[in-house]
A and B are shown apart, each in its own frame.
Chain A
Amino acid sequence: MKNFLNVYTDPVYSFTFVCIAFFFMIKYVHIVATKKFGIGLMLSTLIMFILCFMDPTFTKNFYITNDNVPIIFLVFLLAWTTWFALYQGVRNDNRIANGLPPLEGTPENREKVWAWPNLVYTELFAIILGTVFLIAWSVFFKAPLEEPANPTWAPNPAKAPWYFLGLQEMLVYFDPWLAGVLLPGLIIVGLIAIPYIDMNPKGNGYYTFAERKFAIITYLFSWLVLWNFLIIIGTVFRGPNWSFYGPFEVWDTHKVVAANNVNISEMLWINTLGVKLPSNIFVREIAGILMTLAYLVLFPIFLTKKIFNFNGLLGKICNGGFLGQRYLKSLGWARYALLIFLVLMMLTLPIKMYMRWLINLKYIVFMPEFEFNI
Chain B
Amino acid sequence: MKREPGMHYNTKTLNKVFAFISIIFFIGVLWMFLDDYIRPWKAIQIKSLEIERQALNESIAKENEGIDQEQLELLKQKIDAAQELIENRSTEVASIEKELNLVDKNIYAQNMTNGIHGSKSGEYQFQYEHYHMHGEANKAKEYKVKMEDAKQKFADGKDLLKTLQEQQNEINARLKVITETKSKTEKELNELIGKKERLLVAADKTKMSPIWFLRNSPFIDYLDPTVKIHQIVPEHLTEDRYFVQTPKVDRCITCHTFIDKKGFENQENPYKTHPRLDELAVGRNSAHPMKKFGCTTCHGGEGHRVFDFSAPAHMPQNAKQEKEWKEKYNWHEPHKIAEPMLPLNYTEASCVKCHTGSERIHMAEKLNKGRKLLENYGCYGCHKADGWEHLKKPGPSLTKINSKTSLEFMKNWIWSPHTFNPNSRMPAFFGQSNNKDPKHMVKNITEVNAMAEYIHAKSKTSKAFATYQPGNAENGKNLIQTVGCISCHGVEGIDEPYNKVNSLKGPYLTGTGSKVDPNWLVSWLIKPSHYQEDTIMPSFRLSTQEANDIATYLLGLKNKKFETMKFESINKKIRDDILIGDYFSQFVPIATATKKLDKLSDLERTMELGRLSIGKYGCYSCHDIEGFSADRPPIGPEWNGIGTKFVHQFGFGQQHQIPHRRDAWISAHLKNPRMWDIGVPKPFKDLNRMPNFYLNNEEIEAMTTTMLGFVKQYIPMAGKKNPTANEGFALEGMKVANKYNCYGCHKIDGLGGDILKAYEDDLNAGPPWLVDQGHRVNPLWFQNFLKNVSPIRPYMEVRMPSFNFQEGEVDKLVTYFNASAHKSNFVNSPSIVWESGEKEAAQKMWNAFACTSCHTTGFNNEEAQAPNLHLASKRLRKSWIKKWLTSPIAIQPYSPMPDFWEGGKNPAGEYDESLKGLLGDDPQRQINAMVKYVLSLGKVKESIKNIEASSIEVKETNNTEEVKVEENLPKEETNEEGEK
Question: Which A residues are closer than 8 A to B by beta carbons?
Answer: 112-114, 117-118, 121-122, 124-125, 128-129, 131-132, 135-136, 138-139, 146-153, 155, 253
Contact = CB atoms under 8 A, between A and B. Distances in A.
Interface stretch (B3-11, B180-188, B519-527, B808-816): B3-11
A359 to B, nearest CB: 32
Given A128-B22, A139-B35, A122 B9 contact: yes
A62 to B, nearest CB: 16
Given A117-B11, A118-B8, A129-B21, A147 B31 contact: no
A128 B31 contact: no
Contact of B9 (A118, A129, A135, A155): A118
Given A118-B8, A132-B24, A152-B242, 9 more contacts: A113-B7, A114-B7, A117-B11, A125-B18, A132-B25, A135-B32, A136-B28, A139-B32, A151-B243
Interface of B: 6-9, 11, 14, 17-18, 21-22, 24-25, 28-29, 31-32, 35, 241-243, 335-338, 646, 648
Contacts, number: 65
B28 A149 contact: no
A124 B8 CA distance: 16
B648 A153 contact: yes
Contact of B18 (A113, A121, A138): A121
Closest 10 CB pairs of A and B: A132-B28, A113-B8, A118-B8, A148-B241, A135-B28, A114-B6, A147-B336, A150-B242, A128-B25, A139-B35
B242 A148 contact: yes
A116 B578 CA distance: 91
Contact of A135 (B6, B22, B29): B29
B116 to A, nearest CB: 56
B311 to A, nearest CB: 11
Contacts of B336: 146-147, 153, 155
A139 B31 contact: yes
A105 to B, nearest CB: 17
Interface centre among B21, B29, B335 (most CB of A within 10 A): B21
Contacts of B25: 128, 131-132
Contact of A117 (B14, B21, B28, B241): B14
Contacts of A122: 9, 14
Contacts of B35: 139
Contacts of B243: 149, 151
Nearest to B243: A149
B21 A149 contact: no
Nearest to A114: B6
A150 B28 contact: no
Nearest to B6: A114
B646 A153 contact: yes
B788 to A, nearest CB: 55
24 contacts: A117-B11, A118-B7, A118-B9, A121-B14, A128-B24, A129-B21, A129-B24, A132-B21, A132-B25, A132-B28, A135-B29, A136-B28, A138-B32, A139-B31, A147-B335, A149-B242, A149-B243, A150-B338, A151-B242, A151-B243, A153-B336, A153-B338, A153-B646, A155-B336
A27 B14 CA distance: 43
A145 B336 CA distance: 12
A147 B6 CA distance: 57
Contacts of A128: 21-22, 24-25
A148 B337 CA distance: 9
B21 A152 contact: no
B338 A147 contact: yes
B9 A117 contact: yes
Contacts of B6: 112-114
Nearest to A152: B646
A147 B29 CA distance: 29
A114 B6 CA distance: 5
Q: Count chain A CB atoms within 10 A of each CB in B14, B22, B337 and give the residue with the most.
A: B14
B9 A131 contact: no
Nearest to B241: A148
A303 B646 CA distance: 59
Nearest to B246: A148
Contacts of A153: 336, 338, 646, 648
Contacts of A253: 648
A125 B31 contact: no
Contacts of A147: 335-338
Nearest to B242: A150
B918 to A, nearest CB: 74
A57 to B, nearest CB: 16
A151 to B, nearest CB: 6
Contacts of A135: 28-29, 31-32
B728 to A, nearest CB: 33
Nearest to B17: A125
A315 to B, nearest CB: 54
B804 to A, nearest CB: 46
Nearest to B302: A147
Nearest to B22: A128
A339 B257 CA distance: 71
A66 to B, nearest CB: 13
B651 to A, nearest CB: 11
Contacts of A132: 21, 24-25, 28
A152 B242 CA distance: 9
B21 A125 contact: yes
A123 to B, nearest CB: 12
Q: Which of A113, A114, A148 has the most CB of B within 10 A?
A: A148
Contacts of B648: 153, 253
Contacts of A150: 242, 338
B430 to A, nearest CB: 30
B771 to A, nearest CB: 48
A113 B11 CA distance: 13
Contacts of B335: 146-147
Contacts of A155: 336
A149 B243 CA distance: 8
A129 B29 CA distance: 12
A148 B646 CA distance: 15
Contacts of B31: 135-136, 139
A11 to B, nearest CB: 28
Nearest to A156: B648
A129 B35 CA distance: 19
Contacts of A125: 17-18, 21
Given A151-B242, A153-B338, A131 B28 contact: yes
A183 to B, nearest CB: 33
Contacts of B17: 125
A138 B8 CA distance: 35
Contacts of B11: 117
Contacts of B7: 113-114, 118
Nearest to B29: A135
B36 to A, nearest CB: 9
Contacts of A114: 6-7
Nearest to B307: A142
Contacts of A148: 241-242
Nearest to B27: A132
A253 B651 CA distance: 13
A17 B18 CA distance: 46
A145 B739 CA distance: 50
A115 to B, nearest CB: 10
B658 to A, nearest CB: 15
A252 B9 CA distance: 56
A151 B241 CA distance: 10
Nearest to A145: B307
A344 B619 CA distance: 67
Contacts of A121: 9, 14, 18
A155 to B, nearest CB: 8
